[in-house]
């Protein structure tokens, strides 16, 4: 629908009324002859046009401003002085503009409401997951402590065994809380990346060394595969990237098969360095693949809890990658194995 500014609308109404008066004057002149001077009607019409223009403009502006002021304040969330509104409605097609702003505001609010609902659902699920993950170690600790208090403390064989189990559950709780704190700081932007140039090959060797005992425990061998390079520089936060690949390797070992392998490889593609972590473990099903980076998501729930961990490792990996504005791709086949490929910026 076509709208006009109030100035144009006033001109249109004034012109219509003036033409009407002139036609009336001409009619009267031809009917009554020279008793009425045509020039008098012309003069009167001009005077009427001037007065009508300002009168119509004033009352029209006042009428429109009175009705659009609350809408403008709602849409813009600020109080707009009336004199500014008076100036705007004189110069622009205020109705069309307001219609456009209201539609834009409505779409934005609809999107905001949808996002708030999604966040609320996410919050409920997240709190439920946290409670569920903490419940098991807390109840275990409670059971062990009550057993010790009920007489188990005097039995050397029982007290040592139960204290070890208590320490194991405390360690799991600490792991969950530490990882939750890491994710929270990454999401809130409190963690600033300290980007430097460093040798990714050397850092991956440090990851392998850090998991030597875990590798022996699970019976999975970690090594480099393909052409072995000695020096490939990347530009990133070394501590965060170490945490990223350590999480990927730990995950690979946990879900590996006894006698299996976890292979690390590095290649270059233009201004990117591609680092892959590949295993021949249990793999991930197609249904689980889209969810593996979600907090507390476990593809193999019974096995992952049995082998510890917070369930937040891959969620942390995702946040570190996003903070670096890089990508991570995953390919997996159930019963065959999984490969994660991470891109990093080459040395500047």
Domain positions in the chain: 6-92, 125-188, 195-345
Are 60 and 17 spatial neighbours (Cβ–Cβ below 8 Å)? Answer: no
Pick the CATH number of 125-188 from 3.40.50.300, 3.40.50.12780, 1.10.287.130, 1.10.10.10: 1.10.287.130
Q: What is the CA radius of gyration of the chain?
A: 37
In this structure, the strands spanning 195-199 and 233-237 are antiparallel
Those residues with Cβ within 8 angstroms of residue 45's Cβ, 6 or more apart along the chain or in another chain: 18, 21, 22, 25
Percentage of the residues of the chain whose pLDDT score is greater than 70: 66
Q: Give the C-alpha separation, 283 to 286, whole Å.
A: 10
Q: What is the mean pLDDT of residues 135-143?
A: 85
pLDDT (0 to 100) of residue 71: 66
342 phi and psi angles, rounded to 5 deg: -115, 135
| pLDDT(209) > 80 | yes
pLDDT tens across 213-268, in order? 989 989 999 988 866 678 889 999 999 999 999 999 998 998 888 889 999 999 98
pLDDT (0 to 100) of residue 126: 65
Those residues with Cβ within 8 angstroms of residue 158's Cβ, 6 or more apart along the chain or in another chain: 147, 148, 152
Higher-confidence residue of 26 and 331: namely 331
Q: Band of the pLDDT at 342, cuts 50, 70, 90?
A: very high
Pick the CATH number of 195-345 from 3.30.70.2190, 3.30.565.10, 3.40.109.10, 3.30.572.10: 3.30.565.10
Q: Band of the pLDDT at 141, cuts 50, 70, 90?
A: confident
Those residues with Cβ within 8 angstroms of residue 269's Cβ, 6 or more apart along the chain or in another chain: 343
* Most confident among 85-94, 139-148, 224-233 (mean pLDDT): 139-148
Weakest-pLDDT range from 64-73, 112-121, 142-151, 260-269: 64-73
Q: Band of the pLDDT at 39, cuts 50, 70, 90?
A: low
Weakest-pLDDT range from 41-55, 62-76, 89-103, 271-285: 89-103
């Amino acid at each position: 629908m076509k709208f006009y500014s109030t100035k144009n609308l006033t001109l249109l109404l004034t012109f219509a009324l003036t033409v009407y008066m002139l036609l009336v004057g001409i009619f009267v002149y031809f009917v009554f002859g020279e008793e009425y001077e045509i020039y008098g009607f012309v003069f009167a019409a001009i005077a009427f046009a001037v007065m009508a223009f300002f009168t119509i403009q004033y009352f029209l502006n006042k009428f429109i401003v009175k009705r659009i002021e609350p809408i403008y304040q709602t849409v813009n969330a600020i109080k707009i002085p009336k004199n500014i509104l008076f100036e705007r409605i004189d110069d622009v097609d205020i109705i069309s503009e307001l219609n456009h702003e209201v539609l834009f505001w409505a779409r934005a609010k609809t999107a905001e409401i949808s996002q708030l609902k999604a966040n609320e659902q996410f919050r409920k699920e997240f709190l439920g997951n946290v409670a569920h993950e903490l419940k098991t170690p807390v109840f275990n600790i409670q059971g062990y402590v009550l057993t010790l208090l009920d007489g188990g403390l005097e039995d050397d064989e029982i007290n040592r065994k139960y204290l070890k189990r208590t320490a194991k559950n405390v360690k799991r709780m600490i792991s969950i809380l530490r990882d939750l704190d890491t994710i929270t700081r990454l999401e809130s932007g409190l963690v600033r990346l300290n980007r430097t140039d460093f040798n990714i090959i050397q850092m991956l060797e440090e990851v392998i060394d850090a998991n030597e005992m875990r590798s022996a425990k699970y019976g999975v061998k970690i090594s480099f595969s393909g052409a072995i390079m000695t020096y490939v520089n990347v530009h990133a936060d070394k501590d965060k990237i170490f945490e990223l690949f350590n999480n990927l390797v730990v995950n690979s070992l946990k879900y590996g098969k006894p006698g299996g392998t976890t292979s690390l490889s590095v290649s270059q593609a233009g201004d990117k360095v591609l680092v892959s972590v590949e295993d021949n473990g249990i793999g991930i099903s197609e249904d689980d693949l889209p969810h593996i980076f979600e907090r507390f998501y476990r593809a193999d729930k019974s096995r992952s809890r049995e082998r510890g961990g917070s369930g937040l490792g891959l969620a942390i990996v995702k946040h570190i990658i996003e903070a670096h504005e890089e990508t991570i791709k995953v390919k997996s086949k159930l019963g065959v194995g999984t490969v994660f490929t991470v891109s990093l910026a080459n040395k500047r």
